[in-house]
Amino acid sequence: MSRNPEEPVYNRIEESRVALGLSRQDLANKAGVHYQTIGYLEREEYSPSLVLAIRIAKSLNHEVSELFSLTPFKKGK
């Protein structure tokens, strides 16, 4: 089996990032990753490693569980 076989992880990265007035590049810098990576994550093209998830959560002043979920987030908050 592969690592995450068609097992998506939903997230609210873009929502939180925009709320803080940050560009993807800004967030990428804070999290220490490539800015394209943020794009891939926001489009949910793949799910991050735990390390990255923790770094992003920290960069956005959120708990991992507030930003990422195995089940879809409800619209609006």
Partner DNA sequence: ATGCTATGTAGCATTAATGCAATATATAAA
Partner DNA sequence: TTTATATATTGCATTAATGCTACATAGCAT
Residue in the structure block whose two tokens are 């979920």: 69
**Interface with a second copy (CB under 8 A), residue from 21, 45, 49, 76:** 49
Distance from C-alpha of 20 to C-alpha of 45, rounded to nearest angstrom: 23
Residue in the structure block whose two tokens are 């076989």: 5
Find which of a second copy, DNA, none residue 23 binds, CB within 5 to 8 Å per kind. Answer: DNA
Could you say whether residue 65 binds a second copy (CB under 8 A)?
Answer: yes
Find which of a second copy, DNA, none residue 36 binds, CB within 5 to 8 Å per kind. Answer: DNA
* Residue 22 CB partners (closer than 8 Å, separation 6+): 30
Residues 8-67 that bind DNA (CB under 7 A): 23-26, 32-37, 39-43, 46-49, 51-52
